[in-house]
Chain A
Amino acid sequence: MISFGHVNKYYGDFHVLKDIDLTIKTGEVVVIIGPSGSGKSTLLRCINRLETITDGSLTVKDVHLNDKKTDINKVRRKIGMVFQHFNLYPHKTVLENIMLAPINALGISKEEAKKTAEFYLDKVGIPDKATSFPSQLSGGQQQRVAIARGLAMKPEIMLFDEPTSALDPEMVGEVLDVMKALAEEGMTMVVVTHEMGFAKEVGDRIVFIDQGKILEEAAPVEFFENPKEERAQVFLSRILNH
């Protein structure tokens, strides 16, 4: 589904992603963890070309993202993205937030988009907030709307960049529950998170990245019980004793 081959990325002189090799299969839930500034967001954002790679090859569904002929908007329609700070459109209601891309990027009718929006709003557990504005919602509710907004495009891949890091602790659970349900339905997911409970329970594979390099890649049980890399051990002890 997603395939990184010897991907490097620089910001000017700064080598932010180093020789990334990573393949993500359909239906897989891959959790990316690592210290702050290690390149997790950058890696994730390359998948929908919010960041371009400097060299190497990166394909999504066999489409080369760094090929000039690639219609990136078409690729992006298949990839939902959920951000740390939700990034809902504040001037639009919850329903309008969810309907915007289906109507304008997919070209489906308003009625149809509304039905889809209501379906996914129901799915994330806040059908009663359809006519609210984002500012009237709690952080947890906003993030669930953001997930519904992504799902309304019927994507094949969902990307999550620290979806619970900006939330008050009591709201983390409600968002993780939605993500867990999504994973159980077989969605291909790439998740950057510091929620180790989620990673262990829902992840099919853990990717540990430090200073732009993938240092370890393993099944959750293996990674958490027996991390091979010293830096992964240090990272885990720090985050788990926190």
Chain B
Amino acid sequence: MDFLGAFTPDNLIFLLKGFYVTLKVAFISIIFSFIIGGALGTIRFTKIPIVSNIAAVLVETIRNLPLLLIILFTYFALPEIGINLGITVSAIVALTIFESAMLAEIVRGGLISIEKGQMEAARSSGLSYIQALRLVILPQALRRMVPNLVSQFISLLKDTSLAVVIALPELLHHAKIIQAQELSYVIPIFLLIALMYFVVNFALSLIAKRLELKSA
């Protein structure tokens, strides 16, 4: 097997381009899903009638669907009703929908984990419910959520590879193109992209550990 032969400059650049798309799509989806998931999780936590129930139904529905289905739906089904998002946006939308639901549960769990006395102390000092949430409960909950959030971000980064089914030009897609040229490239290219995913995700989890130690 011609191991090093697979790593031509062209191939390496092509893989890096794919990895760039992976990181870009993941990053954008993380930002959006953090905002949407944070809002959904908080709304569900508040138990405000109707609004909170709607959030719960949304979250539970999405959480129980396979991500692959959501990606395929966004790309193949939405155009049927006139919504044509294109490959990249479809991938971002699908990932954002799915991850928002996952993050909503993490955020809600973090909020629930804060002792009841914190809310009572804040409210009894005359702060409104929203103020108590914003100034007292959320900051503490976010600190507690860091490890779970980061591991969800890592999942998201890995899940980006599922968008290979709609030919998103991300790392796995580019790897498959290279592998199709030459059978002997299959193993070395797989090993290389495995290393790329690993390095980034492992770095993220190290950062998470750091943050965890700091906030403890």
List A residues at the B interface (Cβ < 8 Å): 48, 50, 73-74, 76-77, 79-81, 83, 85, 87-91, 100-101, 104-106, 146, 149-150, 153
Contact = CB atoms under 8 A, between A and B. Distances in A.
Contacts of B127: 73, 100-101, 104-105
By DSSP majority rule, is chain B's interface helix, strand, loop, or mixed?
helix
A74 B123 CA distance: 11
Interface stretch (B46-54, B114-122, B167-175): B114-122
Nearest to B119: A87
A85 B139 contact: no
A58 B136 CA distance: 29
Closest 5 CB pairs of A and B: A77-B126, A101-B125, A87-B121, A87-B117, A105-B126
Interface residues of B, number: 18
Contacts, number: 62
Nearest to A74: B126
Interface of B: 115, 117-118, 120-128, 131, 135-136, 139-140, 143
Given A100-B135, A104-B135, A87 B118 contact: yes
A153 B121 CA distance: 13
Contact of B118 (A80, A89, A153): A89
Contacts of B126: 73-74, 76-77, 101, 105-106, 153
Contacts of A100: 122, 125, 127, 135-136
B143 A91 contact: yes
Residue in A76, A83, A101 with the greatest tally of chain B CB atoms within 10 Å: A101
A79 B131 contact: no
A48 B121 CA distance: 11
A76 B124 CA distance: 6
A90 to B, nearest CB: 7
Contacts of B123: 50, 76
A95 B153 CA distance: 35
Contacts of A153: 125-126
A146 to B, nearest CB: 8
Given A100-B135, A105-B131, A89 B121 contact: yes
A81 B126 CA distance: 11
Residue in B121, B126, B139 with the greatest tally of chain A CB atoms within 10 Å: B126
Contacts of A81: 120-121, 124-125
Contact of B120 (A83, A146, A150): A83
A11 B115 CA distance: 21
Contacts of A85: 117
A91 B120 contact: no
A87 B132 CA distance: 13
Contacts of B120: 50, 81, 83, 87
Nearest to A81: B124
Residue in B121, B125, B131, B135 with the greatest tally of chain A CB atoms within 10 Å: B125
A48 B124 contact: yes
Contacts of B135: 100, 104
B74 to A, nearest CB: 39
